[in-house]
Amino acid sequence: MGPFEREVSSASLSTTYPAVAGPFTNADDGTEIEVNQTGQREEPLVASAEVRDFYERMPYPAPLTSLDEYRDLYGNPDRRRGLFHLLWPTERLRENREILIAGCGTSQAAKYALREPNARVTAIDISETSLSNTQLLQQKHSLDNLELRQLSLLNVQELGQTFDQIVCTGVLHHLPDPELGLRALRDVLKPRGAMHVMVYATYGRTGIYMMQAYCRRLGITPSRQELQDLRTALNNLPEDHPLNQLLHKGKDFQNLDALADALLHPRDRSYTVPQVYDWLDRCGMSFGRWFEQAPYLPQCGVLAKTPHADRIAALPEPDQHAAVELFRGTITQHNFVAYRSDRSTESQAIRFTDQQWRNYIPIRLPWTECVRDRGPAGSVAVLLNRAHKHRDLVLPINAAQSRLFNEIDGTRSLDEIVRNDGKEDARSLQFFERLWQYDQIVFDASCAAAAG
């Protein structure tokens, strides 16, 4: 991952595990699912050990020896502020948070500790190799605000702590029962806390499932030689194989450990949008927002130009997102923010239908870019978000919009900006809504929340 990318998970790919057919046997691989006396499913020890052993041998992501290249990037306070308000638009910036990184892998927790020097970061993982890699980074960069524990997230309550922020990316889909995992995390999330989760997405990974099945048929093991042979075979895939799209785009496949994580993982499953919503609901959580929302919105990209755009936009939001996932067909991961469903205040209260918007302070997301003089006719620039994988999500802007865009300084409210422009009209407001939909900005809506 380059230094300019957002440090979300680069974790990858999966076998689809159909919903467990009966309470005792996993229909896909025949492993026994144990049931305890209260009738709850327990993680089969064999399966945990299998996943742990896999990550002992194939730590993920590829270990880093230094975070030097991230230092300047993370020194930028706007980055911290942008990320904070993405999770908590209606709250005032709090830096001294308790953060849990559940299933931290080789470097994610160290990056968080570096970026959030005033937070206390606790990182857990079942893999000793992953923790050792993280520890090396911790020592190298004197990350005193980071604590590491070898612990399954299923036993997270053993920490005896609750957290403002929980990050769990690329992990829950590897558990025999992701529901148990999400519940365990939810139980250590503070009532006003936010959770950032990434799980695999079903449709976009069709090619991966096919190739996983191929590897199983051939009995391919994750030895160096077998992985090299696999990479050679993949280099010769038919051009129009569904995996090829991912192969050419994904850096993931250049690295052998990542290839193993993608295609030889002993256990993983994936989710469609409705399954994400249902899963959260069953675990006492509620959906907040997609980390990048534009790929899920009918107002963004090519879909907005089709006759179906308005029809989709008239549906309830979860159905809109489900429809857009089906239309796009290539979403490979669902990266989202969720809250406890018993949270007393509204968490993602961004809307433009009442007058609250006047107090919103727009903050540009630092991983966005404004490319001048390369847009379509009539535009003066195009705005893009480097975390977007879909090329249709660039936003051309005209001269008037460019002036408005340049007014964003992280301190002025929309009211001030729009007034400054001298034309307080619906079109200016619509433009800011569009910037937000296209993941160009987040809002600090804490003043609006206080005023409301």
Which residues are at the interface with ligand SAM (CB under 6 A)?
9-11, 51, 55, 60-61, 103-105, 108, 124-127, 130, 152-154, 169-171, 174-175, 261
Q: What CA–CA distances, in Å, run from 38 to 35, 41, 42?
A: 8, 9, 10
- Which is nearer to ligand SAM, 152 or 212 (by Cβ)? 152
Q: How far is the CB of 124 from ligand SAM (least distance, A)?
A: 6
Q: How far is the CB of 310 from ligand SAM (least distance, A)?
A: 37
Q: How far is the CB of 93 from ligand SAM (least distance, A)?
A: 24
Contact 333, 274 (CB under 8 A): no
Q: How far is the CB of 125 from ligand SAM (least distance, A)?
A: 4
Q: Phi/psi class of residue 75: alpha, beta or left (left: φ > 0; alpha: ψ in -120 to 50)?
A: alpha
- Which is nearer to ligand SAM, 97 or 196 (by Cβ)? 196
- Residue for token pair 């945990």: 48
> Max Cα separation, the chain?
68
- Which is nearer to ligand SAM, 129 or 145 (by Cβ)? 129
Strand order in the sheet with 120-125: 146-150, 120-125, 98-102, 163-169, 189-200, 333-340, 285-290
- Which is nearer to ligand SAM, 55 or 88 (by Cβ)? 55
CA distance 321 to 337: 15
Helix-helix angle 178-186:273-282, to 10 degrees: 50
Contact 239, 205 (CB under 8 A): no
CA distance 406 to 426: 18
Q: How far is the CB of 129 from ligand SAM (least distance, A)?
A: 8
Q: How far is the CB of 61 from ligand SAM (least distance, A)?
A: 5
- Which is nearer to ligand SAM, 300 or 387 (by Cβ)? 387
- Which is nearer to ligand SAM, 59 or 362 (by Cβ)? 59
Q: How far is the CB of 261 from ligand SAM (least distance, A)?
A: 6
Helix-helix angle 256-263:206-218, to 10 degrees: 90
- Which is nearer to ligand SAM, 153 or 297 (by Cβ)? 153
Q: How far is the CB of 55 from ligand SAM (least distance, A)?
A: 3
Contact 9, 198 (CB under 8 A): yes
105 closest CA partner among 254, 178, 1, 246: 1
Which residue number places its CB atom closest to ligand SAM?
105
Q: What CA–CA distances, in Å, run from 1 to 138, 290, 291?
A: 19, 21, 17
- Which is nearer to ligand SAM, 149 or 231 (by Cβ)? 149
Three-state SS for 12-52 is CCCCCCCCCCCCCECCCCCCECEECCCCCEECCHHHHHHHH
Contact 368, 376 (CB under 8 A): no
Q: How far is the CB of 101 from ligand SAM (least distance, A)?
A: 7
CA distance 109 to 95: 16
Q: How far is the CB of 107 from ligand SAM (least distance, A)?
A: 7
23 closest CA partner among 41, 36, 48, 38: 41
- Which is nearer to ligand SAM, 180 or 441 (by Cβ)? 180
- Which is nearer to ligand SAM, 147 or 319 (by Cβ)? 147
- Which is nearer to ligand SAM, 173 or 321 (by Cβ)? 173
Measured in whole angstroms, the distance separating CA 133 from the mean position of its chain's CA atoms is 22
Contact 380, 373 (CB under 8 A): yes
Q: How far is the CB of 212 from ligand SAM (least distance, A)?
A: 15
